[in-house]
């Protein structure tokens, strides 16, 4: 399973030789036959051999070993029903080999560098938070738990409510009818209380970031009032959806809520960055200023436009990062030219326990230079 801890550990990996990072799309929806993605893999492996040549003979040997191991892992077979992307990190010179099986698709990419290429993994993690959907009606409650966009758990609560009629279903009449009506409302209320309690217990055991409520409007309003405050403050939205909806319908509805939430929270962070820069403290933007803040360990949150990549320089002896080379301004050593200094910045931030936010389609962040940071001091 992908987790924030695992990505941070990978970002912090430092070895004696270069690391091969390989992202392979094995999504059965796009590649129904094994031969389809195996052909893609062959292309990636060729690309890696060429890239390794630029790092010298020791790297060429190590990368060749990495590629053999990746190829045999893929050919050895894996369960494609739950895996849509494979991510490999390898350095055979150090005996390092790690495979992440992603339930979400990845784009084919192979990178040879001194550190693992973790940015796409971090993007995947951020795109999908953990959330739950509670569907209710007067006698049914269903709690769905989603992780990385996939349904991971499902709990059903059913409390039979007497219909407003006799055993045969004929409507009752007169004061008898009023009594049955009142009784059935009490039972429904008890049912919703029960549903709220089960929800709290389940989510206490395995917490989520958001809860989405669904069902007939008046039932949703009632259950929301009965939820434990810890659950209620996580309610992100309410959907009018049948409590009997199929898992896939629930998932689709919930994912569009999640997508809207993600866009809103990204926009809010970009606004915070702009305000911090405008008031003259607490924030920096643009490549040079952001890299400088990162090197000085002043970054609290790094914001990067998704897809932003640019050349830059990295010092291997003191870990300085900058847009200009070749001499390191900190330790005067010669620095390495890197294809993507933004990637290096993201890894540095993750390894230093900074928060990193990839931002999709933000014209405001693009205007600020596609990268920026909120500062600790």
> Contact between 315 and Zn ion (CB under 5 A)?
yes
Query: Judged by CB under 5 A, how many residues of this single chain contact Zn ion?
Result: 7
Residue with tokens 């979400």: 104
> Contact between 324 and Zn ion (CB under 5 A)?
no
The values of phi and psi at residue 137, to 5°, are: -140, -165
Binding mask 92-111 vs Zn ion (x if CB under 5 A, - otherwise)? --------------------
- Calpha distance 370→194 (Å, rounded): 49
Q: Which DSSP category does 308 fall into? A: -
Stretch that binds Zn ion, among 13-21, 181-189, 270-278, 325-333 (CB under 5 A): 325-333
The whole-angstrom distance between residue 234's C-alpha and the CA centroid of its chain comes to 18
Stretch that binds Zn ion, among 122-130, 219-227, 327-335, 343-351 (CB under 5 A): 327-335
> Measured from the CB atom, is 330 or 355 closer to Zn ion?
330
> Measured from the CB atom, is 90 or 328 closer to Zn ion?
328
> Measured from the CB atom, is 134 or 315 closer to Zn ion?
315
Among 74, 292, 328, 338, binds Zn ion (CB under 5 A): 328
Other C-beta atoms lying within 10 Å of the C-beta of residue 375: 16
> Contact between 124 and Zn ion (CB under 5 A)?
no
Q: Closest separation between CB of residue 329 and Zn ion, Å?
A: 8
> Measured from the CB atom, is 115 or 123 closer to Zn ion?
115
Maximum C-alpha span of the chain: 94
> Contact between 329 and Zn ion (CB under 5 A)?
no
- Calpha distance 97→46 (Å, rounded): 19
Among 320, 321, 359, 362, binds Zn ion (CB under 5 A): 320
Q: Closest separation between CB of residue 325 and Zn ion, Å?
A: 11
> Contact between 318 and Zn ion (CB under 5 A)?
yes
CB 356 within 8 A of CB 4: no
Stretch that binds Zn ion, among 59-67, 253-261, 322-330, 345-353 (CB under 5 A): 322-330
Measured CA distances, 122 to 6, 25, 128, 145 (Å) = 10, 16, 10, 21
> Measured from the CB atom, is 10 or 315 closer to Zn ion?
315
> Measured from the CB atom, is 247 or 331 closer to Zn ion?
331
The sign of the torsion formed by the CA atoms of 123, 125, 126, 131 equals positive
Across the chain, where does the E strand assignment appear?
19-25, 85-91, 96-102, 109-113, 131-136, 140-147, 150-158, 210-214, 235-239, 283-285, 299-305, 312-314, 321-322, 336-338, 355-359, 371-375
Of 81, 98, 80, give the one whose Cα is nearest residue 89. Answer: 98
Stretch that binds Zn ion, among 129-137, 156-164, 312-320, 340-348 (CB under 5 A): 312-320
Stretch that binds Zn ion, among 225-233, 299-307, 329-337, 367-375 (CB under 5 A): 329-337
CB 11 within 8 A of CB 115: yes
Measured CA distances, 107 to 86, 148, 276 (Å) = 10, 16, 34
> Measured from the CB atom, is 224 or 348 closer to Zn ion?
348
C-alpha angle with apex 245: 241 to 247, nearest 5 degrees? 120
Among 221, 259, 331, 337, binds Zn ion (CB under 5 A): 331
Among 330, 339, 369, 375, binds Zn ion (CB under 5 A): 330
Stretch that binds Zn ion, among 89-97, 108-116, 202-210, 310-318 (CB under 5 A): 310-318
Q: Closest separation between CB of residue 331 and Zn ion, Å?
A: 3
Q: Which residues bind Zn ion (CB under 5 A)?
A: 315, 318, 320, 328, 330-331, 333
């Amino acid at each position: 399973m992908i987790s924030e801890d695992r990505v941070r550990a990978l970002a912090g990996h430092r070895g004696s030789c270069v690391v091969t990072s390989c992202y392979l799309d094995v999504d059965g929806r796009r590649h129904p036959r094994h031969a389809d993605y195996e052909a893609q893999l062959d292309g990636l492996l060729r690309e890696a051999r060429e890239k390794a040549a630029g790092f010298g003979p020791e790297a060429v040997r190590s990368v060749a070993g990495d590629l053999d191991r990746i190829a045999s892992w893929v050919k050895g077979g894996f369960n494609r029903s739950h895996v849509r992307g494979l991510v490999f990190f390898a350095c055979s010179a150090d005996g390092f080999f790690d495979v992440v099986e992603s339930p979400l698709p990845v784009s084919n990419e192979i990178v040879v560098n001194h550190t693992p290429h973790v940015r796409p993994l971090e993007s995947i993690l951020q795109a999908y938070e953990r959330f739950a959907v509670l569907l209710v009606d007067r006698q049914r409650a269903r709690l769905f738990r989603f992780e990385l966009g996939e349904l991971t758990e499902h709990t059903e609560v059913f409390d039979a409510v007497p219909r407003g009629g006799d055993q045969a279903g004929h409507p009752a009449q007169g004061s008898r009818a009023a009594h049955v009506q009142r009784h059935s409302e009490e039972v429904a209320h008890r049912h919703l209380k029960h549903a709220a309690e089960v929800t709290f217990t389940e989510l206490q055991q395995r917490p989520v970031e958001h809860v989405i409520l669904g069902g007939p409007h008046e039932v949703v309003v009632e259950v929301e009032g009965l939820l434990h405050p810890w659950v209620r403050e996580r309610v992100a939205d309410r959907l009018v959806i049948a409590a009997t909806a199929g898992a896939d319908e629930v998932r689709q509805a919930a994912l569009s809520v999640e997508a809207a939430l993600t866009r809103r929270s990204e926009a809010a962070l970009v606004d915070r960055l702009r305000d911090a820069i405008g008031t003259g403290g607490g924030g920096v933007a643009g490549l040079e200023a952001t890299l400088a803040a990162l090197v000085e360990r002043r970054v609290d949150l790094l914001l990067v436009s998704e897809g932003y990549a640019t050349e830059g320089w990295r010092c291997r002896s003191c870990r300085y990062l900058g847009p200009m080379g070749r001499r390191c301004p900190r330790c005067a050593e010669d620095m390495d030219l890197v294809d993507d200094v933004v990637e290096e910045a993201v890894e540095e931030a993750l390894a230093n326990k900074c928060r990193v936010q990839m931002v999709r389609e933000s014209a405001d962040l693009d205007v600020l230079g596609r990268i920026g940071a909120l500062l600790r001091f």
